[in-house]
Amino acid sequence: MNMRLPRWLIAVSAAVYFFLHLPVLVLVIFSFNDSKFSVDWQGFTLQWYQRLLERPDILRGLKASLIVGAAATVISAVFGTLLALALARQRFCGRRALEGFLYVPIVTPEIVTGISLLLLFALLKFPLGLTSITIAHVAFCISFVVIVVLARIQGMDENLEEAAMILGADEITTFWKVTVPQLWPGILSGALLAFTMSFDDFVITSFVSGPGSSTLPIVVYGMVRKNVEPSINAISTIILLTTAILIYLADRLARAK
Amino acid sequence: MGAIRERALAWLYTRPEARAWALLAPGGFWLLLFFLLPLLIMFVYSLMPRGIYGGVEPGFTLEHYARFFDPLYLQVLQRTFIWSIGCTIICLVLGYPVAYVIARGRRWRTFLLFLVVLPFWTSFLVRTFAMIFLMRDTGLLNNWMLKLGLIQEPMTILYTPFAVMAGLVYGFLPFMILPIYASLEKVDLSLLEAAEVLGARPTARFRRVTLPLSMPGVVAGSLLVFIPALGSFLTSDLLGGAKQVMIGNLVQNQFSSARNWPFGSAASFIVMALVLAAVMFYLRVKDRGPGGATPI
């Protein structure tokens, strides 16, 4: 059968790919442009990257993002893995409901999650800062970890655990020596996803961050609002590169044998 | 340490449900406390009178929901709805051909798929900024059009409905392409061969075989675009300016400058309800799914 694709179809697809990738490509290229205002190419420079190092707000934002990201990642990776194990291995009432409920944080618009958490913190008089941001990030990262780890468990051989038990290992030893090593790529991949989500999040963070606890996206948003300048291109490029590397690693791990 | 370990083991043996609880408790409580409870608080707040300094006062009222019948807010709701549907339609029109090319073209499939997945993991804020960089008055788009002589002076693109729509489509298009690709990829090619042998022209083969079989992907993709579009905030905030307010911006505004928390909660609850309604609709359609999923 003739399976050649019509020309117009390929043309439309090419245009769509162009539309999907041109903006970011241009953004990255112009982070190296030697001109503050012009959108004409004026020559290569790294000055916009050097500028970043002179801005204390960006460095502080980066630090805040890394702290929150690390904390949120560890907590959601541990709790998410436990939840995934419960869902995969245990029989309890409400298992089905819980499995469905895990998707609710994923489909809920960020703005809704953000303001509802703001209301909670306000009601509890909980101070807004790095802790409240971390709590919020864990709340939306857990689901992603559970889904990734669940996929890993489903491909796992339960016989190995049984064998360990028969050979005399108790439950705790079996868990650490047999279950966790097998799950490890899944857990790591879930953790990297969680870190990426946390590192990227703007909307939810903007509601639960207080004065002096701005993460990198909050700082960048402030810059975008104020003025469009080449250092935003530079910091954007760095963010893009960071997430790209993390996602690449997460993907490699998820496929690991 | 040893004693604790013994006690833990004994506990696990004597109470089988304890194990399930030990695994469930930390994550479960976190979600209960920091996801479900806040939503509940939000709903309760939306039914209470407005406090003077931001919060709420004791009492019960439906006035915040009633306010949505005010033409001003009705317009915001309407705009959000129309733009979300418009965005979904445009994504469908642009995304279907791409999904088709990836599924049917034998070459570069992995690479083409990778290019669709890539934006998923690109910071949304950065992508929105990229659109500003292109579309602002002194941006690249104006610069190119001036050079080509298409326009004599810079055109206002940013802060128009066009900019918001372009931003929404740019943001959510990959959500449309992937599910359609997934269902197109599953289409049994021998069905198409059979149709050809039976004399169906290419257009008829597409209309009568491929299209119906790809419907599950079309429905899933449309929902995956429609849902985030409904709740979008950043796109209209950065590309739309003050005039192109969507419901997400209305919510945000009530919590920042307007300081009307219960009204903001009501607006937010409406967004949440619309999203859940869309998900329910999808689950029902999926279960009865035409073609592919359920054999006749």
A residues 221-250 closer than 8 Å to B (CB): 221, 224-225, 228, 232-233, 236, 239-240, 243-244, 247
Position A4 pLDDT exceeds 90: no
The three-state secondary structure class of B108 is: coil
Please report the pLDDT score of residue B189 as a whole number: 87
Residues of chain B with CATH 1.10.3720.10: 63-288
CB A236 within 8 A of CB A31: yes
Long-range contacts of A224-229 (CB under 8 A, 24+ apart): A224/B125, A224/B128, A224/B129, A224/B132, A224/B238, A225/B238, A228/B132, A228/B133, A228/B136, A229/A36
Position A221 pLDDT exceeds 60: yes
Interface probe with B: pick from A35, A82, A111, most Cβ of B within 10 Å: A111
Q: Which of B264, B234, B142, B154 is nearest to A225 (CA)?
A: B234
Interface probe with A: pick from B114, B117, B121, most Cβ of A within 10 Å: B121
Q: What is the DSSP letter of A32?
A: G
Say which residues have a Cβ less than 8 Å from residue A166's Cβ, sequence separation at least 6: none
Please report the pLDDT score of residue B295 as a whole number: 34
Please report the pLDDT score of residue A35 as a whole number: 84
Strand partners, B56: B50
Please report the pLDDT score of residue B296 as a whole number: 28
User: What is the distance in angstroms between the Cα of A75 and the nearest Cα belonging to chain B?
Assistant: 9
Q: Burial of A80 by CB count in 10 Å (0-12 exposed, 13-18 middle, 19+ buried)?
A: buried
Can you read off the two tokens belonging to residue B220?
């899933």
Long-range contacts of A241-248 (CB under 8 A, 24+ apart): A242/A199, A243/A196, A243/A199, A243/A200, A243/B121, A243/B122, A243/B123, A244/B121, A244/B122, A246/A192, A246/A195, A246/A196, A246/A199, A247/A192, A247/A193, A247/A196, A247/B121
Q: Which of B223, B233, B112 is nearest to B176 (CA)?
A: B223
A residues 20-79 closer than 8 Å to B (CB): 20-24, 26-27, 30, 37, 39-40, 75, 78-79
Q: CA Rg, chain A, in Å?
A: 23
Residues in chain B: 296
Please report the pLDDT score of residue B94 as a whole number: 96
Q: Which of A207, A216, A72 is nearest to A131 (CA)?
A: A72
Comparing A79-83, A176-180, B79-83, the range with the smallest average pLDDT is A176-180
Q: Is 3.40.50.1970 the CATH classification of the domain at A49-255?
A: no
Q: Is the dihedral of CA A203, B179, B220, B276 positive or negative?
A: negative
pLDDT along chain B (296 residues), means of 10: 77 75 89 95 93 82 91 92 96 96 85 88 90 89 89 88 95 94 90 89 88 91 93 92 88 88 94 91 73 38
Query: Cβ of A96 under 8 Å from any chain B Cβ?
Result: no
Please report the pLDDT score of residue A2 as a whole number: 54
CB A28 within 8 A of CB B134: no
For the domain spanning B63-288, the CATH number is 1.10.3720.10
Query: Cβ of A116 under 8 Å from any chain B Cβ?
Result: yes
Residues of chain A with CATH 1.10.3720.10: 49-255
User: What is the distance in angstroms between the Cα of B276 and the nearest Cα belonging to chain A?
Assistant: 8
Predicted TM-score of the model (pTM):
0.88
Chain A residues inside the 8 Å CB shell of B12: 171
- What is the arithmetic mean of pLDDT over A58-76? 95
Query: Predicted ipTM?
Result: 0.88
Please report the pLDDT score of residue B236 as a whole number: 93
Cβ pair B23:A82 closer than 8 A: yes
Cβ pair A236:B130 closer than 8 A: yes
Cβ pair B26:A78 closer than 8 A: yes
